């Protein structure tokens, strides 16, 4: 069981050496880096937020950004992102972890807060709750909620390179055989939309949404409604294929 007042934190992973669009999280939109919007949107959840970056010199600008933004920052292994999450959770004594990635500048903090409230209602440290396994939200709203118990277990037992790089496969593939699942879904499937940034075309869409449509003030549902009404925006990155994990 969890303590009576469990420590909950969002951990966002980031690096400057993205293979398809290096430096993307600090690329400017309306005179601010993409990471600014990511952080601001997540802070709307009113949950503590932590950044997990690599120890490479290439990520020094991310560490500098975190320091200026008052954002606690953990530096760790570039390829063993699972170890980075484990290190960050241990440093801040977290009981419950929300995993997000920094290439999603329009994540909805209210949606995440709702997911965490549901997770707490379940009061089950063997629960994995997410909106990614049964995908109905656009890419770019992804979040996963799991316990320190499950994270410790994955850190100890996961051995495959993909497990270490992608953090949660050991958990969501239920390798232990003792994980319970809950899926956050919406009634209308819009999983075909992309609001994540992995390519120049993804960036072009996000830049247009922020500069021309006030996207930073819109909820997930409002952003989906906007895309429904503007197929020309959807077309900007509809051809982009998600990298395989």
Looking at the structure of the chain, the number of domains it has is: 1
H or E element in which residue 79 lies: none
Round to whole Å and give the CA distance between 219 and 235.
21
Is 1 among the domain residues? no
Four-CA torsion 59, 242, 184, 95, nearest 10 degrees: -30
pLDDT in tens, 90-145: 999 999 999 999 999 999 999 999 999 999 999 999 999 999 999 999 999 999 99
Round to whole Å and give the CA distance between 133 and 191.
11
Round to whole Å and give the CA distance between 98 and 107.
13
Is 47 among the domain residues? yes
Is 211 among the domain residues? no
Is 231 among the domain residues? no
Query: What is the CATH classification number for the domain harbouring 122?
Result: 3.90.550.10
Q: Hey, is 214 helix, strand or coil?
A: coil
Task: Please state, for a pLDDT cut of 70, what percent of the chain lies above it.
Answer: 99
pTM for the predicted model, two decimal places: 0.97
Closest CA to 230 of 176, 175, 193, 182: 193
HSE, CB side, 13 Å, CA atoms: give it for residue 32: 14
- Degrees, nearest 5: CA angle 222-20-34: 40
Query: Is the distance from CB of 194 to CB of 137 less than 8 angstroms?
Result: no
For residue 88, give both structure tokens: 């960050």
Is 61 among the domain residues? yes
Is 204 among the domain residues? no
Query: Which residues span the domain enclosing 158?
Result: 8-193
Query: Is the distance from CB of 6 to CB of 95 less than 8 angstroms?
Result: yes
- Degrees, nearest 5: CA angle 17-21-22: 30
Is 161 among the domain residues? yes
Rg (CA), the chain: 17
First-to-final CA distance of the chain: 32
pLDDT in tens, 62-83: 999 999 999 999 999 999 999 9
Is 151 among the domain residues? yes
pLDDT in tens, 13-59: 999 999 999 999 999 999 999 999 999 999 999 999 999 999 999 99
């Amino acid at each position: 069981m969890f303590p009576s007042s469990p420590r909950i934190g969002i951990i966002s992973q980031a690096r400057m050496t993205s293979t398809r669009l290096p430096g993307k999280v600090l690329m400017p939109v309306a005179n601010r880096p993409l990471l600014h919007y990511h952080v601001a949107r997540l802070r709307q959840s009113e949950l503590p937020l932590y950044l997990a970056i690599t120890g490479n010199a290439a990520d020094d600008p991310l560490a500098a950004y975190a320091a200026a933004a008052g954002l606690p920052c953990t530096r760790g292994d570039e390829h063993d992102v699972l170890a980075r999450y484990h290190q960050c959770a241990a440093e801040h004594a977290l009981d419950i972890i929300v995993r997000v990635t920094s290439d999603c500048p329009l994540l909805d903090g209210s949606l995440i807060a709702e997911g965490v409230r549901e997770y707490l209602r379940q009061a089950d440290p063997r629960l994995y709750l997410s909106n990614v396994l049964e995908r109905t939200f656009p890419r770019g709203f992804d979040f996963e909620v799991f316990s320190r118990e499950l994270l410790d277990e994955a850190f100890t037992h996961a051995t495959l390179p993909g497990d270490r790089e992608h953090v949660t496969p050991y958990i969501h593939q239920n390798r232990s055989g003792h994980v319970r699942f809950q899926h956050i879904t919406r009634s209308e499937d819009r999983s075909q939309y992309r609001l994540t940034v992995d390519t120049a075309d993804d960036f072009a869409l996000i830049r247009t949404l922020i500069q021309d449509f006030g996207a930073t003030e819109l909820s997930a549902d409002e952003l989906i409604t906007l895309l429904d009404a503007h197929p020309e925006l959807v077309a900007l990155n509809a051809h982009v294929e998600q990298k395989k994990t």
